[in-house]
A and B are shown apart, each in its own frame.
Chain A
Amino acid sequence: MSPSELLTLIIGIALTVMVFSYILGDRLFFGIATHLLIGVSAGFLALVVIQKIILPYLIMPLTYETGTGFFLALVPLALSILLVLMLFRRGTQVGSIPLAFLGGALAALAIIGVTRGTLAPQILSTVGRFAPEQLMHETEPQWSAILEALTILLGVIAVLFVFHHQGQSKAGDVVKPVFLEGIGSIGQIFIGITFGALFVGLFSSALIALINSLSEIIDFITLWF
């Protein structure tokens, strides 16, 4: 093992132990580890933004003496200056202009992205289960496929009813009609099933990470003793 490899191993073990000290109720070493993570990540992120975005897309076009590239680069330059002014107390108001530009453009992208990327595929996939070629085999109906398609359709509708909050108001309380409550409860069951499956996936990954970290500590100890 080379000295640099040994050093990275020792740093890794020390940082892992510092994070796990949280279990023992320690806040100082855990705080140092998390602030170190934030500092290094922020520094790395700033570097990537400067070297991969600001320099090639903003600064380089400004070095062109003529041409449309130079003039087109003036707009983001002006917006960037307004953003930087946000760091000063008096500049917070002008900073809302580039943020509004970003918000408006992102909203437009979200409209296209959500309709094409989420809503259309999900709705088509739900309705597509009712295509005759999926429900019939030659002339015989496929009852399992019909049941599955119905379950999926009703399940999706029931989940959407969970978010239905409109109702009659009695003494300030929002009361849902009974049938909506019933459909909403079925929807909650489907959401619970989804969250349960997601929980298990995330829990398994976290458990693997825990085992990996602990085994690294054990390997390090056995290396020396």
Chain B
Amino acid sequence: MKRPLPLIVGVLSGLVVLAAMFFVPQGGSILATVLNWMIIVAGVALLVAIASLVLTHLRFIANGKKGFLLSLVLVISFLATLVFGLLRGVDDPVFLKWVGAVIRPIETALLGLVALVMMSAALKIFRERGWSALTVSFGVSAIIFLILGLGFLQNLNFPALNGVITFVEGLPMIGARGLLIGIGIGLLMMAFRVLFGMEGSGND
């Protein structure tokens, strides 16, 4: 069942933005105002999400749930960053340096772990999905682009080979283009469903 008020608000806001975008000179100020409201609401939604995360972990600590030590780490690091940032300001170089000192090594190491996980996942795909057009072309393409990535073949300077390499390097664009058009059409359908009230937070 759909609740009428969120449905009306959703459809109206969508139609106003759409109309303002079609009639840009006249609707420019309306569009700017609605976009401004959107930015504020999205920001507050983000804050609510963060508050919900912290409250959940505070509940874990209060109940002494298994793994509450990790929740403690999260809450302390959150509060320390927030208080430090409020005192020094978000643009303060010292604050940014210390935030970077924590975030950067963890992110780099996690990206490094991704290399190992990807390697095992690439082998797993053949075990899980068997030999199909998709898996075989994926494997062959990965090997070919790994070799091309070395730059060895490009340095041989054979005009015929360079032509083949240029053609092969353009092949992923075909699939990407098809995927982008497919995703675009899907997104468009979804957006129209939201605008016509068939989808969204109006649903119970």
Say if the beta carbon of A42 comes within 8 Å of chain B.
Answer: yes
Q: Is the CB of A58 within 8 A of B108?
A: no
The listed residue (A15, A79, A191) touching B105 by CB distance below 8 A is A15
Q: Is the CB of B171 within 8 A of A193?
A: yes
* A12 nearest CB neighbor, chain B only: B105
Contact residues, B5-20 vs A (CB, 8 A)? 5-7, 9-18
Q: Is the CB of A114 within 8 A of B81?
A: no
CB distance from B73 to the nearest CB of A (A): 5
Task: Kindly state the separation between the CA atoms of A156 and B44 in the bound complex, as whole angstroms.
Answer: 41
Q: Is the CB of A107 within 8 A of B195?
A: yes
Say if the beta carbon of A132 comes within 8 Å of chain B.
Answer: no
Task: Kindly state the separation between the CA atoms of A187 and B69 in the bound complex, as whole angstroms.
Answer: 49
Q: Is the CB of B137 within 8 A of A196?
A: yes
Q: Is the CB of B37 within 8 A of A96?
A: no
Question: Count of A residues near B, CB < 8 Å?
Answer: 112
* B81 nearest CB neighbor, chain A only: A43
Q: Is the CB of B180 within 8 A of A118?
A: yes
Q: Is the CB of A192 within 8 A of B181?
A: no
Say if the beta carbon of B123 comes within 8 Å of chain A.
Answer: no
Contact residues, A91-140 vs B (CB, 8 A)? 93, 96-112, 114-115, 118-119, 122-123, 125-126
* Chain B residues whose CB sits within 8 angstroms of the CB of A111 once the complex forms: 18, 188, 191-192, 195
Say if the beta carbon of B134 comes within 8 Å of chain A.
Answer: yes
Say if the beta carbon of A32 comes within 8 Å of chain B.
Answer: yes
Q: Is the CB of A45 within 8 A of B111?
A: no
The listed residue (B44, B80, B85) touching A84 by CB distance below 8 A is B44
Say if the beta carbon of B160 comes within 8 Å of chain A.
Answer: no
Q: Is the interface of B mostly helix, strand, loop or mixed?
A: helix
Q: Is the CB of B182 within 8 A of A51?
A: no
* Chain B residues whose CB sits within 8 angstroms of the CB of A209 once the complex forms: 108-109, 111-112, 114-115
Q: Is the CB of B40 within 8 A of A100?
A: no
Task: Kindly state the separation between the CA atoms of A46 and B110 in the bound complex, as whole angstroms.
Answer: 23
CB distance from A129 to the nearest CB of B (A): 11
Asked if A87 meets B181 with Cβ closer than 8 Å, knowing A97-B6, A110-B187, the reply is no
Task: Kindly state the separation between the CA atoms of A112 and B104 in the bound complex, as whole angstroms.
Answer: 36
Task: Kindly state the separation between the CA atoms of A83 and B37 in the bound complex, as whole angstroms.
Answer: 13
A: which residues have CB within 8 A of B? 8, 11-13, 15-16, 19-20, 22-23, 31-54, 57-58, 72, 75-76, 79-80, 83-84, 86-87, 93, 96-112, 114-115, 118-119, 122-123, 125-126, 148, 151-152, 155-160, 162-163, 185-207, 209-214, 216
Given contacts A80-B41, A192-B135, list 9 more A-B pairs with CB under 8 A: A11-B105, A23-B116, A102-B38, A104-B17, A156-B177, A185-B133, A202-B114, A209-B109, A209-B114
A-B CB contact pairs (8 Å), 6 listed: A33-B109, A42-B78, A44-B85, A87-B48, A148-B167, A207-B115
